Amino acid sequence: MSDTAYATERIKYTHIGGQAVLEGIMMRGKHNWAVAVRQPDGEIYIEEHELKTAVSKRPWLGKPIIRGIVGLYETLVLAMKAFSVSASVAGESEEEQLSSREIAFTMVLGVGLAIALFIVLPAVVTNLLVGGATDKPFTWNIVDGLLRVLAFFTYIWAVSRIKDIQRVFAYHGAEHKTIHAYEHGLPLEADVIQRYETMHVRCGTSFLLMVMVIAILVFSLVPVKALAAALGAEGRYAILAIAIAMRLVLLPLIAGLAYEVIKWAGKAPDNPVVRVVLWPGLMLQKMTTREPTDDMIEIAVAAMNAVIAREEGEDPPPAPLPAH
């Protein structure tokens, strides 16, 4: 097929998504999820599982906003499972492999550090720079939000300098490129897939940045002064504690709103408004993705094929027994 034919293929946007893991990629469809990992001996390990969602049992959980909250929780759980598989397979030796308990601890620690870095720290610094959260609420929320975004960019920049993380980011790029090719209805072959960019509108990086932008708007509407008065809180740090607590409480709602924006964008990525809204997230993806090698593309295709087989009603390839 010629380059012109490739360029004019009709785009079929898909719900299939994924994530990069250690030396591999996880892809998720409607009915199943699969993770493909490059083993130390060079062979590809594929593990495929049925996907059981809360929405399938309780349809009301699929309503707007709520589905984003539920989806975020399920994504975190699935990420932990996929990471567990990759950590068990990719290690050169038993000493390098992580146990389920170690992986769970790492995930919990990561969430705790994220809360401290992106919620608590910006609020504390804002309290020092601007004053109490009720003195200048509008200014306070703007500064708090900007510091949160700054902390996020700084974190991404810092981890992108780590050599091992750069390899994970390259797998991230392979995941996006493969999804692009599938959306265009093209053969999932390395030379075809490599033509696409590493950025994608439905990327989790864009979602996280959208969360932070929406958070600025939502937190600006929170009546911290009224809440403090109702609770009898008068001290500057007592009011700060209330502001931080409200940020934690409202985080699921904000995630649900961000999910709806990303879902809308995924259906019309070429819409000019969508491109403007998602432009910052797409630019940020230049930091969280790298150009993959062909062998990384091979891993992405292996995971994608296991999901596509179920999507198209075909029998999936037999999955090896778990290595852990």
DSSP for 118-164, please give it: IIIHHHHHHHHHT--TTTSHHHHHHHHHHHHHHHHHHHHHHHTTSHH
Q: Could you report the per-residue pLDDT of 173-223, keeping only the tens digit for each?
A: 999 999 999 999 999 999 999 999 999 988 888 888 899 999 999 998 888
Establish if 130 belongs to a structural domain: yes
Establish if 324 belongs to a structural domain: no
Establish if 321 belongs to a structural domain: no
Contact between 49 and 32 (Cβ < 8 Å): yes
Q: Could you report the per-residue pLDDT of 143-170, keeping only the tens digit for each?
A: 999 999 999 999 999 999 998 899 999 9
Establish if 319 belongs to a structural domain: no
State how many domains the chain has: 1
Task: Record the pTM.
Answer: 0.84
Range of the domain at 25: 3-311
Give, as one character, the DSSP assignment of residue 312: T
The two tokens of residue 85 are: 């598989």
The two tokens of residue 178 are: 């493969």
Establish if 143 belongs to a structural domain: yes
Establish if 316 belongs to a structural domain: no
